[in-house]
Amino acid sequence: MTTPFDPEAFRRALHRAADVVADYLETVGDRPVLPNVEPGDLLSQLPAEAPEDAESFDALIDDFQRLVVPGVTHWNHPGFLAYFSSNGSEPGILGELLAAGLSVNAMLWHTSPAATELEIRACDWLRRLLGLPDAFQGHVNDTASVSTFLALAAARDTATDRDIRHEGLSGGPHLVVYCSDQTHSSIDKAVVALGLGLHQLRKIETDDEFRMRPDRLLAALTDDRAAGRLPIAVVASVGTTSTTSVDPVAEIADLCDREKVWLHVDAAWAGSAAVCPEERSLFAGWERGDSIVVNPHKWMATPMDCSVLFVRDPDLLRAAFSLVPEYLETREDAHPAKIDLMDLGVQLGRRFRALKLWFVMRAFGAAGLREKIRRHLRWGRRLAQRVDDHPDFELAAPAPWSVVCLRALLPDEPPAREDEFNRRVLEAVNRRGDVFLSHTKLQQRYVIRVAVSNLRTEEDRVDLAWQQIREEAERLRTDSDWNRPNEGS
Amino acid sequence: MTTPFDPEAFRRALHRAADVVADYLETVGDRPVLPNVEPGDLLSQLPAEAPEDAESFDALIDDFQRLVVPGVTHWNHPGFLAYFSSNGSEPGILGELLAAGLSVNAMLWHTSPAATELEIRACDWLRRLLGLPDAFQGHVNDTASVSTFLALAAARDTATDRDIRHEGLSGGPHLVVYCSDQTHSSIDKAVVALGLGLHQLRKIETDDEFRMRPDRLLAALTDDRAAGRLPIAVVASVGTTSTTSVDPVAEIADLCDREKVWLHVDAAWAGSAAVCPEERSLFAGWERGDSIVVNPHKWMATPMDCSVLFVRDPDLLRAAFSLVPEYLETREDAHPAKIDLMDLGVQLGRRFRALKLWFVMRAFGAAGLREKIRRHLRWGRRLAQRVDDHPDFELAAPAPWSVVCLRALLPDEPPAREDEFNRRVLEAVNRRGDVFLSHTKLQQRYVIRVAVSNLRTEEDRVDLAWQQIREEAERLRTDSDWNRPNEGS
């Protein structure tokens, strides 16, 4: 057994890479969160084609440090408060390294029994941690985009008496999916991919706290039925992307029951907070979903990629996607404990993602996971209180968890100029490099968004973000260019 | 910046894991390829729920060695000659470790400039290595299942004047996809997922060398048009899954040109062989595809998962999938060198997969990649010759590359008994643990399949597989149970 590589050289390189990773994580906070690069900077430094001759492992690691690290956005930086962070925790990185060493494909039980059974058990551990009932069975996908896509595929294929798997959508009625106007763009992509068409996606109006209005949902369902279209699924969000608002899931579940419509719950980010029993009132009703997506790679310290799709009836996913060609049939097919996870989705190749999730849950322990979430919730809610208390700022949305949407106020200026002011404040803060914040728009208005869900963030970093927002707003208010007439809007 | 984990403990654990991986790869050949486990074995050893308190990194690594390693199928074993192997090469594992340390999300240029630009360049290097024209632009997906799905989505959405992205398929004509009866099941899954319906997938008959028959393809297209159905795409395979047969791509391309139908080329496994100029005659016509999928994780020593989709016109993927919500808009949007790779597919979250691919191409060098493929081709073709020369065996299909489909012959027995004989020979060989072979069915007949494309396989291991097949066939021929009347069929 040989490869072109000297085993000792590889071992040395792995140890060097181990130190590179350990050093990086110890010092990442000393860098600016965002790299100081322009589009094309790295491209211009890379040769146009692969080298003819082999290069050493040291050359690869040197170039990783020289070319790649200075050009990445530092998701593991304690000041990464943008989007939803996805953190490479220490046990997660260990899991990724060991899984890469095995390089198994968990498509069939037979092609890696341990990877399959560990995935089943790790998802079951997660289900129990989140307080979800036994009725749910989980499996791991790469992203919530895929998890949601699979759930809606099952909803689509079970919605009618027609055999959509074989007949397709042509010739059948229009099938309609419902979500709120705050729902993640992955729902739109799923509706496109599944062939339903965006005109069959109803973005239901939200209330003044950005929660789906059940009365509007019912009205839309009724309209569609009256027009001969068939409602197939409602996507309720526990933690929308912009404001982390929580749809009234219990009411929506009542409606889905009555209307016989699939309920998919998108809790990709906020779902991890269900490890804290005291937070579970925010999840009321999610246990009535037909499917639920929770991404451990968002708020449970698991490195990208790890999205868990819980479904009540995995046979509905199998009915959509199971196709076993002869070359993948195996002799264990009759055994009750044997599950071929490829049958639950589109992807045949499946990385051993369960290992890192198992490592994360064990290395933190349930107590450690709860503590991590509680710290973020405490800091996020305190920041929201401070914004609310400050005369020159306002909360742009309620902050039920640890994401704060805020806006600097210019009461004597037109809205467009206030929006531009906030945009400039955000850019000025991000340029300083200590924190990275993102933005969103709410009711057409520009909003600064601070997301406290990064494993490496500490309380003082959240304080610093707030301090720099105030400083940059103060600086801009007195900036002569900003205050010159006909400027800045 | 802190996590619950002591930095020094993490560094020690990473170094221990580095040694675990290096040791594993040095000794994996001493294990049986298939684990000696039954369904449920690992599940029964795992607690029902996550621990309340944190466990040490050493406990995780101990359990990895004690519970996981003995229960996996060893894809990195030199005797893994089943399916298409997916090998964790040394540079690929290094890349996975470093990428896990960064844990960036390459969804937007802004969220990781270096990951985006490295992906563009790595795919361009691969394109040049394979001899594909400049017109193709590549990006990385997790699997060929997803790459093919995206290509067919673009074909679907550009096939008609209808705005399928918005209107959906309901109300439009049936859209038909064509592939051969040897094509991979991922085409079936894509057709289901896209809402086309399996009745709209034509499995075109193959010739006696398992290649799609263009005359039958034309007849099917003509029939469908006459019936008011609309042909949208043909999937041609360069290297089918069972026999690695090669469809007549140039002829199919002519037909697709005339018929104005999208041509998708599935070269997921065999595509890597195009690094060898002397093999390119087998690829004739693939450069005329609208899209081509090649998986470096199959035959280019890159760990799962890494599938490259090359398309002539990425804007057609964008037209299907680009949806940029406000919270993902960034100020570089106007820059020509800036590409947001999330726009090319369903998945928003995108791991930094380009790093391992870049490392693999550099650590092997173009010369090393060619040499690796040439060895496999030499050994595979020599095995095919030996099978063909042996009076008690036959080649069940031509072996254009390094995958050999063979059958032990029982000329005086009925076909069902010959099939059962081959099944038992395969199982006996696999039980010995030195090699792992898979099977397929060709023209309803059971066939043993030996795939020589594993990075760690050496010539003597291919010889051993052939020796053990002959030994087990010889043993079974003289086995008294097998020869008892009314037994074994």
Order across the sheet with B230-237: list the strands. B137-141, B307-311, B291-294, B262-266, B230-237, B175-180, B201-204
Say whether the ipTM exceeds 0.90. yes
| pLDDT at res. A329 | 66
Give the tokens for residue B128: 């040049």
Across all residues in chain B, what is the average pLDDT? Answer: 94
- Half-sphere exposure of residue B88: CA atoms within 13 angstroms, side-chain side: 28
- In the prediction, which pLDDT does A151 show? 97
- With cut-offs at 50, 70 and 90, classify the pLDDT of residue A225: very high
Please give the share of chain A, as a percent, with pLDDT higher than 90: 90
**What DSSP element (H or E) covers A111?**
none
pLDDT at A332 exceeding the cut of 60: no
Looking at residue B468, its amino acid is: Q
* Of B1, B195, B365, Cβ closest to residue A78: B1
Nearest to A55 among B10, B50, B365 (CB): B365
pLDDT per residue as tens digits for the range A115-167: 999 999 999 999 999 999 999 999 999 999 999 999 999 999 999 889 999 99
For residues A328 and A343, the answer to whether their CB atoms sit within 8 Å is no
- Residue contact B149–A359, C-beta within 8 A: no
Report how far residue A428's alpha carbon sits from residue A421's, in angstroms, rounded to the nearest whole number: 11
Residue ranges of chain A assigned to CATH 3.40.640.10:
105-351
Task: Give CATH 3.90.1150.10 domain extents, chain B.
Answer: 365-483
- Comparing CB atoms, the residue among B89, B94, B323 nearest residue A3 is B89
Q: Which residues of A touch B325 (CB under 8 A)?
A: 184-185, 241
In the prediction, which pLDDT does B488 show?
47
What confidence tens digit (pLDDT) does each residue in A382-429 have?
Answer: 999 999 999 999 999 999 999 999 999 999 999 999 999 999 999 999
Confidence class for position A3, pLDDT limits 50, 70, 90 = confident
- CA–CA separation, A370 and B450 (whole Å): 50
Q: How far is CA B97 from CA A104, B102, B140, in A?
A: 16, 9, 18
How many CB pairs below 8 Å do chains A and B form together?
Answer: 573
E strand or H helix that includes residue B250: helix B249-259
Give the pLDDT band of residue A328 (cuts 50, 70, 90).
low
Q: How confident is the model at residue A278 (pLDDT cuts 50, 70, 90)?
A: very high
* Residue of chain B whose alpha carbon sits nearest to that of A119: B43
Q: CA nearest B356 in A: which residue?
A: A60
Task: For residue B212, give the DSSP letter.
Answer: B
pLDDT of B330 higher than 80: no
Please tell me the predicted confidence (pLDDT) of residue B184: 86
* pLDDT reading at B329 higher than 80: no
**Cβ separation of A362 and B60 shorter than 8 Å?**
yes
A430-457 residue pLDDT tens: 999 999 999 999 999 999 999 999 999 9
% pLDDT > 70, chain B? 96
In this structure, the number of other CB atoms found within 10 A of the CB of residue A409 comes to 16
Crossing angle (nearest 10°) for helices A7-27 and B7-27:
160
Q: Mean pLDDT in chain A?
A: 94
Confidence at residue A13, expressed as pLDDT on a 0 to 100 scale: 98
Task: Tell me how close the Cα of B216 comes to any Cα of chain A, in angstroms.
Answer: 22
Q: Do A346 and B46 touch (CB under 8 A)?
A: no
Kindly report the nearest CA distance between residue B256 and chain A, in angstroms.
23
pLDDT greater than 90 at residue A303:
yes
Where are the domain boundaries for CATH 1.20.1340.10 in chain B?
A: 1-30+35-72
Q: Using 50, 70 and 90 to split pLDDT, how confident is the model at A484?
A: confident
Rounded Cα distance, A212 and A246, in Å: 8
Contact A42 B117 (CB under 8 A): yes
Instruction: Evaluate the CA torsion angle A161, A165, A171, A176 in order and state its sign.
Output: positive
Confidence class of residue B9 from pLDDT cuts 50, 70 and 90? very high
Q: Which residues of A touch B91 (CB under 8 A)?
A: 5, 57, 60
Give A59 to chain B, closest Cα distance, Å: 9
In this complex, do B197 and A170 lie within 8 Å of one another by their Cβ atoms? yes
* Chain Cα centroid distance, residue B366: 21
From the list A412, A419, A400, the residue with the least C-alpha distance to A489 is A419
Residue B489 has pLDDT above 60, yes or no: no
Q: pTM of the predicted model, to two decimals? A: 0.96
Q: Which carries the bigger pLDDT value, residue A336 or residue B141?
A: B141
| B146-162 core/surface letters (b: 16 or more CB in 10 A; e: else) | bbbbbbbbbbbbbbeeb
pLDDT, position A486: 63
Q: What does the pLDDT read at residue B289?
A: 98
Tell how many helices (H) and how many strands (E) occur in chain A. 15, 11
Q: What is the pLDDT of residues A467-480, one digit of tens each?
A: 999 999 999 999 99
Domain A7-30+35-72, CATH: 1.20.1340.10
Q: What is the CATH number of domain B365-483?
A: 3.90.1150.10
The answer to whether B57 contacts A91, with C-beta atoms less than 8 Å apart, is: yes
Provide the pLDDT for residue B322: 84
Q: In what order do the strands lie in the sheet with B445-451?
A: B393-395, B403-408, B445-451, B438-442
CB contact burial B382-397 (16+ within 10 A = b; e otherwise): bbbebbeebeebebbb
Q: Are A55 and B303 inside 8 Å of each other by CB?
A: no
Q: Are B367 and B102 in contact (CB under 8 A)?
A: no
The CA distance from A233 to the nearest CA of chain B, in Å, is 16
Pairing mode, strands A393-395 and A403-408: antiparallel
For residues A352-367, average pLDDT = 98
Q: What is the model's pLDDT at position A326?
A: 65
Residue A245 pLDDT class (50, 70, 90 cuts): very high
Q: At what angle do helices A354-389 and A459-477 cross, to 10 degrees?
A: 40
Q: What percent of chain B has pLDDT over 90?
A: 90
Rounded mean pLDDT, B166-190: 95
- Numbered ranges of CATH 1.20.1340.10 in chain A: 7-30+35-72
* Residue-level pLDDT at B1: 45
Cβ–Cβ below 8 Å for A14 and B10: no
Coil/strand/helix, residue B141: strand
3-class secondary structure, A286: helix
Contact A368 B54 (CB under 8 A): yes
Which of A176, A141, A184, A179 has its CA nearest to residue A156? A176
Residue range B1-30+35-72, CATH number: 1.20.1340.10
State how far the alpha carbon of B262 is from the alpha carbons of A231, B1, B150, B163, in Å.
32, 52, 13, 17
Rg, Å, chain B Cα set: 24
Residue A489 pLDDT: 46
CATH 3.40.50.970 fits A362-483, yes or no: no
Of the candidate CATH numbers 3.40.630.10, 1.20.1740.10, 1.10.10.10, 3.40.640.10, the domain formed by A105-351 belongs to 3.40.640.10
pLDDT beyond 80 at A86: no
pLDDT in tens, B291-302: 999 999 999 999
Residue range B15-26: average pLDDT? 98
Asked whether the predicted pLDDT for residue B406 surpasses 90, the reply is: yes
How far B129 CA lies from chain A's nearest CA (Å)? 7
Please indicate whether, in this complex, the C-beta atoms of A129 and B441 are within 8 angstroms of each other: no
**Would you state the pLDDT for residue A322?**
84
Domain(s) labelled CATH 3.90.1150.170 in chain A stretch across 362-483
